Chains A and B, each alone.
Chain A
Amino acid sequence: MIVKKGFIAEGTKSQLDENTIKSLVMNIKGTKKCQFDWNTEIGYVTFDDSKTNLDKILDKIEQNKKYSCFLLDEDNDETNEKTIYIEGMHCASCEVLVERKLKKIRSINHVDVDFKKGFAKIKYDNEPSQKDIKRVIKSCGYKLSDGPVINQNKNLIELGGMLVIIIGVYLLMKKFNFFPDVSITDNMGYGVIFMMGLVAAMSSCLAVTGGLLLSLAARYSEKHPNYTGFQKLKPHINFNIGRILGYTLFGAALGLFGSIISVSTTVSGILTILASLLMIALGLQLIGVFKTTLNIRLPKKIAHKIHDLEKSDHKSTPFILGGLTFFLPCGFTQALQIYVLSKANPIVGALTMLAFSIGTAPSLLSVAAISSFLKGNVQKHFFKFAGVLVIVMGLFSINQGMILATSKIDYGTQPSIPTPIDNNNNNNNGVLDSNVKIVDGKQIVNMKIDRYDYIPSEFTIVEGVPVEWHIDASTAGGCAQIITVPKLDIQEFLSKQEDNIITFIPQKEGKLEFMCSMAMTTPGAHFKVVPNPDA
């Protein structure tokens, strides 16, 4: 094989030396070509390595005692390349920063950083020490990693796994009726209300408020990775103070003004949808779907505006947000709102809401604390988990919001619903549904609420005839204690007794859906209103 090698021959002083060396080399059998420059003392020789080798050639030159030979350092000739993996880069600025800092290491000639893929390609003469690289990367606030940082597939599997776990836990909780059962009675002590807050914050309130809180917490942590746990916790403390004050204030107002500020089903539905959309967006951001694409492509002007908004995040915003959670559609909060409304007393209202919101604080704060004090990888996984959880919660509640917000709107748009063909129709004295009895010209409907299920959940009633709806709520769970019929504007708080009575007269044929205030009860529960066969 013909090869080309470089060498150094020291001691050359003139063109004469150059010619001597060239002829010495060319006289060796197997050499094809020789270049040499007496000035730089560097030469290259091309030869057939089956016939001779570089050592022999250099020995031959050194036979002339004037010269001493060395191999040309291969490293000077071709630069070496290496890829190092870096964790934590998230934008183009990180890229520039790492590039600059790495270039300051003397032996590194060229640096190429890709923040999306999380690596840097370096070219160097002499391999820089791992220690130096580590120090430099650390000084910019990043972490050196042993292998590729983001593995897209692994990521998806991880997210999928989290999703499965969350749905599994949800189904298990539902199956074993793990959802807490706290009842609202007509006259509750504040201790009981406090206890209710404790429980609520672990169930329905955590679903709505907690989800929101969690995603905001994660955003905050991501933005300020170097803050200590306590610094990160500060906005959460503000959030909870705001929440407690907001609840107290709005509670008093509710007691004072009554229904003016109580939230209607439609508004509550719309709020739910908005909150859910926000949750989904934040959740997606948490699991990193938007992180790279969205941030870069935003036009500069909009990006600035968003950053400006984010700046406000850590001042009074958490405080105000906390106060506004009063209006979020958490079942317990709504139950208490109705309770306060019925008391019509601002002091009772304030104290009730105060006790409740203090009760919710420990659990909300502990979520915040967990997210604030976690670090490194654990934190990363926690936020990913939170992201998936928030998205799932968002999807759940967007559905509830839709039911609440739209069920009233499409009232009357279904002019004809097929008249149910009931086998007992004619034999049963005009009664279409065996669960509906006609007594004294009224339709008596009996229904039981077992935790979160309506038994039965479908009734057929006749148009224009008064309905007396008897509801046994003695075993109703949490927010199932509020029943709403959006189309009729009915929102009733059911006391834990066997006979709650709601009366109404169905005016139009169609479907009258009913549900709890969070739409978490038996899906599709409704009255089917059919034309009066006697009319």
Chain B
Amino acid sequence: MEKITLKVNGMHCKSCKMLVEDGLGDLDGVEAVMVSYEQGTCDLNYDSSKVSLEKIKETIREEGYEVE
């Protein structure tokens, strides 16, 4: 399990937060997603043997937000 904090741009409300959390929550290997739209951050634990960081970022982008 690895723990990271991603900087997510473009979230402005609670719906955005839920979208990102749901999107990442559906990924296999991702656990404990915590998004704060006020801070523009996304804390999560993930299993790098099951899911890549790139896949996680990809998912966030698919939801319509920017991630560095």
Task: Give A residues with C-beta under 8 Å from B.
Answer: 89-91, 93-94, 96-97, 100, 140-141, 223, 225-226, 300, 303-304, 307, 311, 314
Contact = CB atoms under 8 A, between A and B. Distances in A.
Contact of B14 (A100, A141, A307, A311): A141
B37 to A, nearest CB: 9
Given A97-B19, A311-B38, A311-B39, A226 B12 contact: no
Contacts of B13: 90-91, 93-94, 223
Contacts of A225: 14
Interface in B9-23: 9-16, 18-19, 22
B18 A307 contact: no
13 contacts: A93-B12, A93-B16, A93-B19, A94-B15, A97-B15, A100-B19, A140-B15, A223-B13, A300-B10, A303-B10, A304-B9, A304-B10, A311-B39
Contacts of B9: 304
B39 A96 contact: no
Interface string B55-68: 00000000010000
Nearest to B22: A100
A91 B18 CA distance: 13
A311 B40 CA distance: 10
A226 B13 CA distance: 11
Contacts of B64: 93, 96
Interface string B1-40: 0000000011111111011001000000000000000111
Contacts of B39: 311
Contacts of A141: 14-15, 18
Given A91-B13, A303-B12, A97 B38 contact: no
Contacts of A96: 15, 19, 64
Contacts of A97: 15, 18-19, 22
Given A96-B64, A226-B14, 5 more contacts: A90-B13, A93-B12, A96-B19, A141-B15, A314-B38
Nearest to A140: B18
A12 B17 CA distance: 55
Nearest to B39: A311
A334 B44 CA distance: 53
Interface string B37-61: 0111000000000000000000000
Interface of B: 9-16, 18-19, 22, 38-40, 64
A100 B18 CA distance: 11
A93 B22 contact: no
Nearest to B38: A311
Nearest to A95: B15
Question: B15, B18, B19, B40 — which one has the most chain A CB atoms within 10 A of its CB?
Answer: B15
Contacts of A304: 9-10
A437 B12 CA distance: 68
Question: A226, A300, A307 — which one has the most chain B CB atoms within 10 A of its CB?
Answer: A307
Contacts of A94: 13, 15
A402 to B, nearest CB: 35
A223 B37 CA distance: 11
B18 to A, nearest CB: 5
Contacts of A300: 10
A304 B40 CA distance: 10
A129 to B, nearest CB: 23
Contacts of B22: 97, 100
A307 to B, nearest CB: 5
Nearest to A141: B14
Contacts of A93: 11-13, 15-16, 19, 64
Which A-B residue pairs are the 5 nearest by beta carbons?
A93-B15, A94-B15, A93-B16, A97-B15, A307-B12
A99 B52 CA distance: 28
A473 B39 CA distance: 55
A407 to B, nearest CB: 43
Contacts of B12: 91, 93, 303, 307
A213 B19 CA distance: 32
A141 B21 CA distance: 15
A91 B15 contact: yes
Nearest to A142: B15
A303 B22 CA distance: 24
Nearest to A90: B13
Nearest to B17: A93
A304 B39 CA distance: 12
A442 B6 CA distance: 78
Contacts of B16: 93
Question: A93, A100, A141 — which one has the most chain B CB atoms within 10 A of its CB?
Answer: A93
Contacts of A303: 10, 12
A410 B55 CA distance: 65
A314 B14 CA distance: 16
A91 B13 CA distance: 9
Contacts of B15: 89, 91, 93-94, 96-97, 140-141
A253 to B, nearest CB: 35
